[in-house]
Amino acid sequence: MSSKSIFIAAVGLGIVFIIGFIGLVVFYSNELDNRDSEIENLRIIVDDKDIQIVGLKSDLKANLSIIDNLNNQISDLKAANLVWTNFEVSTNGGFFIVSGFLCNTGEEPAYHTRFHIVAYAINGTKVIDGYPPAEIGTIGGKQIISTNNARAIYYGGGLLANWTITPEWTLNP
């Protein structure tokens, strides 16, 4: 084989390698572009998921708030709650007389129950600010607070302009 043939063969082989190398560069360049495009698409998906996460966290916070509110309502319904079922108020000989019942509509007992009575004379003077005793019992499984033995507070007589009778209790013994 002559040196010219070897040279031509070497040049031809070099051209083939160069063309092959250029082909590989173009191929991998296209692959990198495709991967960059996939990465960008994945970034967009991640951003969308981040937005969804923020929305879901907000929904979770709102739902937890609703649950807390419902738990508070349940606690309030179970807690002692005194409701007037029947009562009368009268005055006689300088006494302010309260007679009636309160019913505990809650599941928990009411402790240290009492009636706070405040009354004002016609001229606006506070003539009563006191606490008559109360009796506590149970009827039909419900706690009943009674003033039926005519709980009276002496105020000296005269016309009363208005009064309030407020049941007071604690939730702890």
Residues 55-90 pLDDT 10s: 999 999 999 999 999 998 888 777 777 777 777 888
Highest mean pLDDT among 5-14, 15-24, 139-148 belongs to 15-24
Contact yes or no for 119/160 (Cβ under 8 A):
yes
Residue 109: which residues within 8 A CB-CB, separation 6 or more? 80, 143
Extended beta strands in the chain, E state: 82-92, 95-104, 111-121, 126-130, 135-139, 142-146, 151-154, 160-170
Do both 88 and 30 map to the same domain?
no
Count CA atoms closer than 13 A to 45's CA, side-chain side: 6
**Strand order in 111-121's β-sheet?**
126-130, 111-121, 160-170
**172 pLDDT more than 90:** no
Give, for 5, the enclosing helix (H) or strand (E): helix 3-78
Picking from 58, 78, 98, the residue at the C-terminal end of a domain is 78
**151 pLDDT more than 60:** yes
Q: What is the pTM of this model?
A: 0.53
Do both 64 and 93 map to the same domain?
no
Do both 72 and 123 map to the same domain?
no
- Containing domain of residue 125, as a range? 82-170
pLDDT of residue 118: 93
Residue 135: band (very low, low, confident or very high) from pLDDT cuts 50, 70, 90: confident
Nearest one of 92, 85, 94 to 147, comparing CA atoms: 85
Q: What is the mean pLDDT of residues 148-171?
A: 80
